[in-house]
């Protein structure tokens, strides 16, 4: 009888140990799974926050371009190419203002080019910058920097620097002028042909 009780006690102890070990394994698995899920949730929240920030972040760019109807003149463009509105936009021209004025670059006197309160995403401001002929005339207007600073709707501040280099357009100007000359010459030839036809008819 004692031997039977001993066997039962032995098996009960083994069963208890087995169940305890099983419970430990389940607890460890649950802890690992919970930790992994928590990390994934944190990463997902961070990724979502970053995507939301990208979707609402402004991006101001400043550049010069030929005027649409006059290839001998430049416009300067302030554009918000980001996905959110820009607030409190400030500009700082790192160039001697007297040099700019000597080339009739008058943005130094335009209040709009000092500060803009608000610029929605996808919008741009365009203003006359100056004569390409004057700027490329010796001594040419040297490249200079325009600094910008602005904020998003959350108040986060952004800063950018843009290099304004007129010389980069020099060959484009020559090419465009050549095209204009060809057009002018063609129009004169047409005019001569029309006059010749008129004389023949008379």
- How far apart (Å, rounded) are the C-alpha atoms in residues 108 and 98? 10
CB atoms near residue 161 (< 10 Å)? 11
Tokens of 40: 């994934």
pLDDT of residue 173: 47
pLDDT of residue 72: 78
pLDDT of residue 120: 95
Residue of 76, 164, 177 lying closest to 126 (CA atoms): 76
Longest dimension (CA), the chain: 146
75 close to 127: Cβ distance less than 8 angstroms: yes
Tokens of 91: 């500009």
Q: How confident is the model at residue 169 (pLDDT cuts 50, 70, 90)?
A: confident
Number of residues written out for the chain: 202
Query: Would the pLDDT of 177 be above 50?
Result: no
pLDDT of residue 56: 80
- How does pLDDT run across 112-160, given as a tens digit for each residue? 888 999 999 999 999 988 888 888 888 888 999 999 999 999 999 999 9
pLDDT of residue 116: 93
């Amino acid at each position: 009888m004692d031997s039977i009780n001993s066997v039962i006690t032995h098996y009960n102890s083994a069963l208890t140990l087995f169940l305890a070990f099983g419970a430990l394994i389940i607890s460890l698995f649950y802890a690992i799974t919970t930790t992994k899920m928590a990390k994934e949730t944190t990463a997902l929240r961070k990724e979502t926050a970053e995507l939301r920030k990208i979707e609402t972040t402004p991006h101001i760019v400043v550049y010069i371009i030929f005027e649409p109807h006059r290839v001998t003149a430049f416009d300067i463009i302030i554009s918000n190419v980001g996905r959110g509105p820009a607030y409190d936009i400030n500009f700082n021209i790192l160039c001697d203002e007297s040099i700019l004025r000597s080339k009739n670059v008058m943005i130094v006197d335009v209040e709009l080019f000092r500060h803009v309160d608000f610029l929605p995403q996808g919008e741009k401001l365009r203003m006359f910058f100056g004569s390409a002929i004057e700027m490329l005339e010796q001594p040419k207007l040297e490249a200079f920097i325009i600094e910008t600073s602005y904020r998003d709707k959350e108040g986060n501040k952004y800063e950018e620097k843009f290099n304004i280099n007129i010389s980069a357009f020099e060959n484009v100007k020559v090419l465009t002028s050549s095209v204009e000359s060809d057009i002018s010459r063609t129009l004169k030839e047409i005019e001569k042909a029309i006059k010749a036809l008129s004389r023949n008819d008379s």
